[in-house]
Amino acid sequence: MKASLASTFAYLGSVAAATLAAAAFMTGEARAEGPIEVLPAFTGTLSRAEVRSALMAHPAQLTSAASEWRLQQGETLMAGSSTTRAQVRAEYIASREQVRAMNGEDGGAAYLASAGRQARVTVIAGNGMR
């Protein structure tokens, strides 16, 4: 009986505390952090015809897809690569098999033990580490 009574009082105390906390939150005022900054109206220095002629001078940059693609490429574009499609495909398949072996149950131990291979980690965003 004592345990049941203590449990009931604990429950009622929790409910009372939650009710008081909710009442305290409801009576508070809502305050904004500050006034919204209103910027002055923009007035350009070029005429509409000047902007239009500058825009039409570069038609390849008119689409958002073209500019987005160019931004994503950065400096990694290689003109006239000597790598063939077959070579790239073979490298991809080899790396796929290596990933499968390294993610095995043994953590790649059998893969590294066979033929005396050493683990090689490549950092994509920076210089490669060996």
What is the length of the chain?
130
Q: What is the pLDDT of residues 103-124, one digit of tens each?
A: 888 888 887 887 565 556 555 5
Mean pLDDT, residues 56-75: 71
* Contact by Cβ (8 Å): 115, 98: no
Which DSSP symbol is given to 18? H
> How many CB atoms within 10 Å of residue 90?
11
The two structure tokens encoding residue 117:
């291979």
Mean pLDDT, residues 37-62: 82
Closest CA to 129 of 112, 121, 98, 102: 121
0.75 exceeded by pTM = no
